[in-house]
Amino acid sequence: MSSHYKCSVSALLRGSALAAVSAFALASCSGPAADSSPAASAKPAVEVASKVSEPETDGSTKRLRLLTQDQYLNTLAYVFGPDVRPDAYFPPAQRTDGLLSLGAAKAGITPTRMEVYQKAAVTVSALIVDPTRRNFVITCKPADEKAADRACASKVITDVGRLISRRPLTAEKRDAFVAQANEAATKLKDFYAGLGVALEAMLVSPNVLFVAERSEPDPATPGQYRLDAYSLATRLSLFLWNAAPDDELLKAAQSGEIHTAKGMAKQVDRMLASARLDQGVRALFDDMYGFDTFNALSKDTSVYPTFTGQALTDAREETLRVVVDHLLRQNGDYRDLFTTRETFISPALAAIYRLPAPPRWTKYEFPEGSQRAGILTHISFLATHSHPARSSATLRGKALRELLLCQPVPPPPANVDFSAVENPKGNLRTARDRVNFHLENPVCAGCHKITDPMGLALENFDGEGRFRETERGAPIDVSGSLDGKAFKDVVGLGQALHDHPALTSCVVKRTYAYATGAPTSNADRPLLAYFNTRFGEQGYKMPDLMRTIALSKSFAQISEKAPAAPGKTASLPSSQTAAATSN
């Protein structure tokens, strides 16, 4: 395990002898440290002079959303150590405006879902108080292990509660959890068992599971609201790290530093330089590229015998590795993701790529002249947008439009007749023959014209992503066009996509929506145009875009009108009322 890992709890405890021991021990046991790592990520942001300035907006939307599975698990790993990772499978959110994360604002908690959280909490609390690890994560010793200890329980609950709830517990909440711990410890005659009961309760509390953003009047702009400091810290951390804020960010919230331009920039730059940025960027692109599809993907193994379960897992990982390597390690141009020949190969993927298998994940560069260039030619994209037993130019073209260019494609009519194109004995040998058949029907032609020309360029790859030159004995024609730009093969498609203006505006739109947790609207167009211009000025570098968004006024400001009357707020409470009711 990397030595860049350590627990945030230990960071809380600097100054005590025990903390020093804990911090030392934890350095080899827990998640990536929030402080910067030489191996990590984005290069320090360099200010690029801009010809544009951020337009005035009402700010972003204040949201109540459910913590996602990965946000929950990442937070646990960073707070308690990477081995504290329960087998928790939270129900998926509903994809909204191209992002799963936006669906997290539409989710509720059913009794069944609560059971999943409960099981995870039981596992985690048991791991925390386990005799073999309690000394690493519980930072005080009870006077008597067989009895309640109010002081020690209070310290642990205060420390842990602040990190997993993303703000300090109120005295009332803290005392309730401590009382719970003491009562259980007394009944069970075991301090740690009692503490485990309280920790379990904390882990399923609404303050942990829900991200309830709170607003307050912005003193710098009368009439304007902004996120309160802890909400801003949480939004920032979920955006950049896909996890709860660490100790330092919470301190910046507590001191108010985060609400100053300099203080916010300091935190954003620190977080962009952290190894935890990897997880944040992986989560963003896993969501944006619709990789949740992998969770339910299956292939007909009689047709694709090499598409094993491991290949499925590795296909997702390959593209995410390329994303992190290209965008963060190399600080590369986002558009080059669609032309780069650099990738990573695993033993399971090698059989499909028809390459000698490396002993483990290994960096690889497809040679010049190969038809593999860019993530469109990765097994991930090719296999997820295909049928179980054959490729699909239409599904691939649709995915390209919707996921990469943010151009929605309508669903097919309910009464569409597929019999002619799916007849195995028919004379339609190649995918081009089949989609041309669609074009003869005016009802179908409208949509197929915008999906198929790109999808056909990927027909050199079958339904699992294996290269082929013929289909049913007929040579495959992979020429096509993308919005007027003609190409002769998939390499040309990658270049056309690289040069397409919607490619960058789409990633900007998705990233801003992901960052703020809300779909964009027409009112956001000037703001998105500004972000897109800055993105271009900065060489389409993803860390720069994330920095620009995080430091924008819109990220911190909230489009909220002053409440009509106290106590009658229709939406989420402001921080003053929330503090009284929520904690």
Partner 1 sequence: MKLNVSVTLAAACAFSAGIAFASAASADEALQDGKIGFAMTHKNWAIYQTPDGKAECPNGLNDGPREQFDKLYPRDKKHTYIGTQLEREGEVWVPEKTPETHGLPFYEPQGKIGIGLDLDGKAGPEDFTSPDGKVAGIDNQISRAFGCVASYRGPDGSYRHFVQSYMQQYKYNRFLLEISGVDDLANDQDVTVTIYRGLDALLLDSAGNFIAGGTQRADHRWGKEFIKSTKGKIIDGVLTTQPIDVYIPETLARGAPKQFVRDWRVELRVTDDGAEGLMGGYLDIERLQNNLAQNWATHFRSYGQESIPSEYRSFIRNADAYPGEDGKNAFISSAWQIKFKQAFITHPPQAVAAGAPGNAEAASAASRE
Residue 467 in contact with partner 1, rule: CB under 8 A? yes
CA 54 – CA 46 distance, rounded (Å): 18
Taking a C-beta distance cutoff of 8 angstroms, is the pair 232, 253 a contact? yes
Taking a C-beta distance cutoff of 8 angstroms, is the pair 421, 462 a contact? no
Residue 298 in contact with partner 1, rule: CB under 8 A? no
Taking a C-beta distance cutoff of 8 angstroms, is the pair 430, 344 a contact? no
Taking a C-beta distance cutoff of 8 angstroms, is the pair 58, 557 a contact? yes
Which one of residues 212, 297, 351, 579 is an interface residue with partner 1 (CB under 8 A)?
Answer: 351
Stretch that binds partner 1, among 78-86, 204-212, 297-305, 381-389 (CB under 8 A): 297-305
Which one of residues 283, 345, 458, 545 is an interface residue with partner 1 (CB under 8 A)?
Answer: 345
373/496 with CB nearer partner 1:
373
Task: Using the CB atoms, write b or e for 10-20: b if 16+ within 10 Å.
Answer: bbbbeeeeebe
Which one of residues 204, 212, 355, 395 is an interface residue with partner 1 (CB under 8 A)?
Answer: 355
Stretch that binds partner 1, among 217-225, 346-354, 479-487, 544-552 (CB under 8 A): 346-354
- What residues contact 3, with CB distance under 8 A and at least 6 apart? 27, 28
List beta partners, residue 362: 345
Rounded to 10°, the helix 542-550/261-272 angle is 150
Kindly state the smallest distance separating residue 371's Cβ from partner 1, in Å: 7
Q: Compute how many residues bind partner 1; rule: CB under 8 A.
A: 28
Taking a C-beta distance cutoff of 8 angstroms, is the pair 60, 557 a contact? yes
416-420: long-range contacts, CB 8 A cutoff, minimum separation 24: 416/443, 416/444
Judged by CB under 8 A, the chain residues 303 through 332 that form the site for partner 1 are 305-306, 308
55, two tokens:
């337009």
Which one of residues 356, 410, 484, 566 is an interface residue with partner 1 (CB under 8 A)?
Answer: 356
Residue 502 in contact with partner 1, rule: CB under 8 A? no
Residue 334 in contact with partner 1, rule: CB under 8 A? no
16/370 with CB nearer partner 1:
370
Q: Which x/- pattern over 148-187 shows residues binding partner 1 (rule: CB under 8 A)?
A: ----------------------------------------
357/476 with CB nearer partner 1:
357
Residue 364 in contact with partner 1, rule: CB under 8 A? yes
Residue 297 in contact with partner 1, rule: CB under 8 A? no
371/479 with CB nearer partner 1:
371
Taking a C-beta distance cutoff of 8 angstroms, is the pair 516, 215 a contact? no
Kindly state the smallest distance separating residue 512's Cβ from partner 1, in Å: 36
Which one of residues 65, 167, 466, 510 is an interface residue with partner 1 (CB under 8 A)?
Answer: 466
- What residues contact 137, with CB distance under 8 A and at least 6 apart? 7, 9, 22, 26, 80, 81, 128
Taking a C-beta distance cutoff of 8 angstroms, is the pair 280, 239 a contact? yes
For residue 300, give Cα distances in angstroms to 278, 385, 548.
33, 14, 45
369 secondary structure, DSSP code: T
Kindly state the smallest distance separating residue 224's Cβ from partner 1, in Å: 52
Q: Based on the number of CB atoms within 10 Å of its own CB, is 297 exposed (0-12), middle (13-18) or buried (19 or more)?
A: middle
Q: Which x/- pattern over 274-293 shows residues binding partner 1 (rule: CB under 8 A)?
A: --------------------
CA 40 – CA 45 distance, rounded (Å): 14
366, two tokens:
């497809």
Which one of residues 112, 132, 302, 419 is an interface residue with partner 1 (CB under 8 A)?
Answer: 302
Q: Which x/- pattern over 33-72 shows residues binding partner 1 (rule: CB under 8 A)?
A: ----------------------------------------
Kindly state the smallest distance separating residue 355's Cβ from partner 1, in Å: 5
Kindly state the smallest distance separating residue 309's Cβ from partner 1, in Å: 9
165, two tokens:
């709830």
173/466 with CB nearer partner 1:
466
Residue 371 in contact with partner 1, rule: CB under 8 A? yes
Chain residues binding partner 1 by CB under 8 A are 301-302, 305-306, 308, 345, 347, 350-358, 362-367, 369-372, 466-467
